[in-house]
Structure 1
Amino acid sequence: MEDIKDSNAKRFCTRNILVILGFSCVIAVIALIAVGISQNKPLPQNVKYGIVLDAGSSHTSLYIYSWPAEKENDTGIVQQIEECKVAGPGISKYAQKTNEIGAYLTECMERSSEVIPVSQHQETPVYLGATAGMRLLRMESEQLADRVMAAVIRSLSDYPFNFQGATIISGQEEGAYGWITINYLLGNFIQKSNWLSLISEGINDEKTFGALDLGGASTQITFVNENHTVESPDNSLQFRLYGKDYDVYTHSFLCYGKDQALWQKLAKDIQVSSDGILSDPCFHSGYEKIVNVSDLYKTPCTKRFERTLPFDQFKIQGTGNYEQCQQSILELFNTSYCPYSQCAFNGIFLPPLQGSFGAFSAFYFVMDFLNLTSEKVSQEEAIRRIESFCSQSWKVVRTSFPGIKEKYLSEYCFSGTYILSLLLHGYHFTSNSWENIHFMGKIRGANAGWTLGYMLNLTNMIPAEQPFSPPLSHSTYVFLMVLFSLILAASIITALFFFKKPSYFWKEMV
């Protein structure tokens, strides 16, 4: 009788122990899964956005940038996620119709509202930077420039973003921000990291690129002056990015963008005409165009050539000659005096060129059309190709490029010749240093231009936030995973031992 009771007690205890062991296994498995999932689930993205409008002389473009709120050395890791070109001319052309500026900006600002999450609208900063077009308007009439900027501010303030202001940036700032952009995109500011492993791959972090920017109304040259010789303090700027300080040389030549340079050349050349006909070697033979004298003298850039002419209009008749075109362009560069050890032109200090240069904006667009952006194209080959292009008749050129607007197509001969003249005679690149010029349109999907550099510099003023982190520290996570794994293993081993040798277990217990 006692044996029966003892057997029943053993079965009861065994059953309870197995239940406890099974329960322990289930709890251990659930705990392992829970800890693993909670620790390794994707962290929420803590992304910030910013909007920069580039109000240039000929057009306005809007760029949307994003960056993680956790910054690296106080500067955000910024990338371009959207570009929107505003339909119409630059804002300076709205000086007499400022009531239309609101409608002018609507499409791209509405696009921004769609791209950026609604929850981020109120904290997304919006900046507008106006460049050489507005600098010229301000020279012409400060009152008109103020009216345009006031209309822009009213319009942008109506949107649900955090509008930070609209300003006319200086030429030096424009050049320096362009320098920041290309060096950021080339990975020259920070060491290789998970953030920028793709950007910085294969790039030398120790050297920076110089920046060559060409717009419609101005052109900028910017590079690090390794000699640290500052003969002209106005041409020196300092930046702090990713924990490093940079001293750069920069200068903006107002009125020497490709559009204003053309107006200057026409105003200079028409002075010798008595019959209202201008034979122009910078346009293709067979090309003709009527120009109003009032339009010619409308810009401040042509004031030095203004004369009373015996006609209200004149006709351009193209002759298509590269050498004559270049000679006419070189007359715009005054190299007769230099108050420094070395100058570019017009008495502007220019230290010796150093390192590689990225040439973007109109430098790239014009040379890309002329198929001259390849690094294999020598200076001599570039001259030969532009000379050949200029010598073609207007009829042949128009037939060869039917999809390009006549205004742009007709000016490529001048623009190409002007770019070579500016680089070789204005900035003193040689046949050897020509190899250091790299024509850049987009770099890693972002436009080469001043706006990204502007955004990068502004993020220094945006406080960094604490990064989202896993719920457990790494040591705690490892400890819990080991603990629950040991509990699970011990429970399974004990259960197996029970099934295989239960009598041995009770014997040991006795």
Structure 2
Amino acid sequence: MEDVKDSGLKGFCSRHILIILGFSFVMAVIALIAVGLTQNKPLPENVKYGIVLDAGSSHTTLYIYKWPAEKENDTGVVNQIEECKVKGPGISKYAHKIHDLSMYLAACMEKARKVIPTSQHRETPVYLGATAGMRLLRLENEQSADKVLAELTEILRNQPFDFQGARIISGMEEGAYGWITINYLLGKFTKKLKWLNLMPGDSDDQETYGALDLGGASTQITFVPQNQTIESPESALYFRLYGRDYSVYTHSFLCYGKDQALLKKLTKDIQGTDGTIQDPCFNHGYSRIMNISDLNESPCTRTFQTTLPFVQLQIRGVGNYQQCQQSVLKLFNTSSCPYSRCAFNDIFLPQLQGNFGAFSAYYYVMKFLNLTSEEPLSQEKIIDTMKKFCARPWEELKIHFGDVKEKYLSEYCFSGTYIITLLQNGYHFTSDSWENIHFMGQIRSTDVGWTLGYMLNLTNMIPAEQPLSKPLTHSTYTFLMVLFSLILVAVVVIGLLIFHKPSYFCKDMV
């Protein structure tokens, strides 16, 4: 009878201990899961946004950038997430119709409101930078330039974003920010960004790329001259990026963008004619009529302007690369140099070194001519392509490129010839150094231009926020995980012992 009683007591004891152990097991598992999920759940995205409006001479483009609020080495890791091309010409064309600007930016600003979360609107900075088109307008009529900027300021202040200003950036800034953009995207500034490299040759002290920018009204050249003195102090800039100092040479040639260069050439060529010119820079069979006033209204053409007895200019294309280049060469004054080395027009230029990224109009023209392959093309190959393109009849071009706007198509012979002449005779790229030029449109889905460099520089003025931290410190998290894991192990071991030897735990109750 006592054996039955003892067996019942042992069974009762075992069941209660197993229930307690089971409860402890479940609670330990729940605790482990809770601690793990709490500590390892994704943190909310802590990012900032910024908007830069590139108000160029021929058009305006809006760029939206995004970067972590916890910045790296005081400079935000900025990525382009959206771009919007504003319909219409550059803002300088609105000097006499500023009220039309009210709808000018409407579509792109609406797009920005949709892309950027509403909760971020009030803290998203907006910057408008105007380039060579407005620099020319300011030279021609400063009051008109001020009115255009004032109207744009009023429009942008009424947007839900944090408007930071609309201004005309200098040519030096435009060149320098383009240089920053290229080297940032190529990972030349930080070791952390080396995975962005598109070119071989990875090292701790990487040589930066030079930047070649060509717009409608100006062109810039920027690079770091190694072991050379920058003889003209006005062409020297100093940057500190990601903990390193850079001494940069940069110069902007106003009136030497491709559109203004064409106006200068036409104004020069028409002198002493009856109003008709046989132009080798346009394909054979092409014809265009221009108003003389269109030539005279630009400050860039004043060097060649004289009183003409006619009001219209007729262009008749001849299509000859060599003759076109001879005509373009007259735009560059290389007869004197007050320094040890010059580009043209008495402007100091250090010895060219290293690789260069050529973007904006350089890229768009060369892309049309199918000259933007990843492998650098020789100077001879590019010149040969231009000779053949300029020699093609206009009617043939219209058939093959019917989807290209006539104005652009008609000017590719001039633009390509101008680019070759500028690089070869203006900047003195030789047949050897020519292969160091890389024509770039985008790098890692980000447009190459001055706006990203501008944004990178501006983010230095935006205070970095403290990183969002985990709920538990690492030591606390480790302690809790080890504790609950040990409890689980102990529960399992005791449970197995009770299952196999219940009398061991319940012998005192017998």
TM over 0.5: yes
2:425 is equivalent to residue 425 of structure 1 = yes
Letter in 2 for 1:322: Y
Q: For structure 1, which segment, 94-103 or 200-209, has the greater mean C-alpha deviation from structure 2 after superposition? A: 200-209
Q: Does the 8 Å CA contact 1:153/1:165 hold for their aligned counterparts?
A: yes
Letter in 1 for 2:142: E
2:288 is equivalent to residue 289 of structure 1 = yes
**Which residue does the alignment assign to 1:326?**
325
Q: Distance in 2 between matches of 1:411 and 1:340?
A: 35
- Of the three residues 191, 195, 198, the one matched with 1:197 is 195
Q: Distance in 2 between matches of 1:102 and 1:247?
A: 41
Q: Could you say what secondary structure the match of 2:189 adopts?
A: coil
Q: Could you say what secondary structure the match of 1:460 adopts?
A: helix
Query: Structure 2 regions of 5+ residues with no counterpart?
Result: none
**Which residue does the alignment assign to 1:240?**
240
Q: Could you say what secondary structure the match of 1:341 adopts?
A: coil
**Which residue does the alignment assign to 1:78?**
78
Shift of 1:493: 1.1
Shift of 1:36: 1.0
Q: Distance in 1 between matches of 2:426 and 2:258?
A: 14
Letter in 2 for 1:188: K
Shift of 1:4: 6.2
**Which residue does the alignment assign to 1:186?**
186
2:392 is equivalent to residue 382 of structure 1 = no
Q: Distance in 2 between matches of 1:345 and 1:35?
A: 69
Q: Distance in 2 between matches of 1:198 and 1:319?
A: 46
Q: Distance in 1 between matches of 2:321 and 2:454?
A: 38
Q: Does the 8 Å CA contact 2:215/2:361 hold for their aligned counterparts?
A: yes
**Which residue does the alignment assign to 1:163?**
163
Letter in 1 for 2:328: I
Q: Does the 8 Å CA contact 1:186/1:203 hold for their aligned counterparts?
A: no
Shift of 1:100: 1.0
Q: Does the 8 Å CA contact 2:186/2:196 hold for their aligned counterparts?
A: no
Percent identity over the alignment is: 69
Q: Does the 8 Å CA contact 1:188/1:200 hold for their aligned counterparts?
A: no
Letter in 1 for 2:57: S
Q: Does the 8 Å CA contact 2:376/2:438 hold for their aligned counterparts?
A: no
Q: Can you list the C-alpha shifts for 1:329-383, whole angstroms capped at 9, x where unaligned?
A: 0100001111111000000000000100000000000011111112342100100
2:350 is equivalent to residue 351 of structure 1 = yes
Q: Distance in 2 between matches of 1:272 and 1:318?
A: 18
User: What pairs with 1:438-477 in structure 2 (closer than 5 Å)?
Assistant: 438-477=438-477
User: What pairs with 1:67-466 in structure 2 (closer than 5 Å)?
Assistant: 67-192=67-192, 197-198=195-196, 204=202, 206-273=206-273, 275-374=274-373, 375-466=375-466
Q: Does the 8 Å CA contact 1:191/1:200 hold for their aligned counterparts?
A: no
Q: Can you list the C-alpha shifts for 1:233-259, whole angstroms capped at 9, x where unaligned?
A: 110111111111111000000000000
Q: Does the 8 Å CA contact 1:32/1:485 hold for their aligned counterparts?
A: yes
Letter in 2 for 1:471: P
Q: Can you list the C-alpha shifts for 1:252-284, whole angstroms capped at 9, x where unaligned?
A: 0000000000000000010021x2111111001
Q: For structure 1, which segment, 36-45 or 178-187, has the greater mean C-alpha deviation from structure 2 after superposition? A: 36-45
Does the C-alpha gap of structure 1 residues 348 and 260 become closer, same or farther in structure 2, counting only changes over 3 Å? Answer: same
Shift of 1:41: 1.2
Q: Can you list the C-alpha shifts for 1:17-37, whole angstroms capped at 9, x where unaligned?
A: 222111110110001111111
Letter in 1 for 2:86: V
Q: Does the 8 Å CA contact 1:188/1:204 hold for their aligned counterparts?
A: no
Does the C-alpha gap of structure 1 residues 159 and 203 become closer, same or farther in structure 2, counting only changes over 3 Å? Answer: farther
Q: For structure 1, which segment, 15-24 or 389-398, has the greater mean C-alpha deviation from structure 2 after superposition? A: 15-24
Q: Distance in 2 between matches of 1:251 and 1:99?
A: 35
Q: Could you say what secondary structure the match of 1:305 adopts?
A: coil
Letter in 2 for 1:369: F
Q: Can you list the C-alpha shifts for 1:217-242, whole angstroms capped at 9, x where unaligned?
A: 00000001212412111101111111
Q: Distance in 2 between matches of 1:291 and 1:135?
A: 24
Q: Distance in 1 between matches of 2:376 and 2:8?
A: 94
Q: Distance in 2 between matches of 1:214 and 1:44?
A: 41
Q: Distance in 2 between matches of 1:316 and 1:509?
A: 116
Q: Distance in 2 between matches of 1:143 and 1:376?
A: 46
Q: Distance in 1 between matches of 2:275 and 2:478?
A: 87
Q: Could you say what secondary structure the match of 2:353 adopts?
A: coil
**Which residue does the alignment assign to 2:502?**
502
TM-score, L = length of structure 2: 0.97
Shift of 1:81: 0.3
Shift of 1:326: 0.4
Q: For structure 1, which segment, 457-466 or 370-379, has the greater mean C-alpha deviation from structure 2 after superposition? A: 370-379
Root mean square deviation, CA, Å: 1.6
Q: Distance in 2 between matches of 1:132 and 1:175?
A: 12
Q: Distance in 1 between matches of 2:376 and 2:180?
A: 26
Query: Structure 1 regions of 5+ residues with no counterpart?
Result: none
Letter in 1 for 2:396: V
Letter in 2 for 1:492: V
Q: Can you list the C-alpha shifts for 1:291-340, whole angstroms capped at 9, x where unaligned?
A: 11111110000011110011111200111111110011010000111111
Q: Could you say what secondary structure the match of 2:303 adopts?
A: helix
Q: Could you say what secondary structure the match of 1:396 adopts?
A: helix
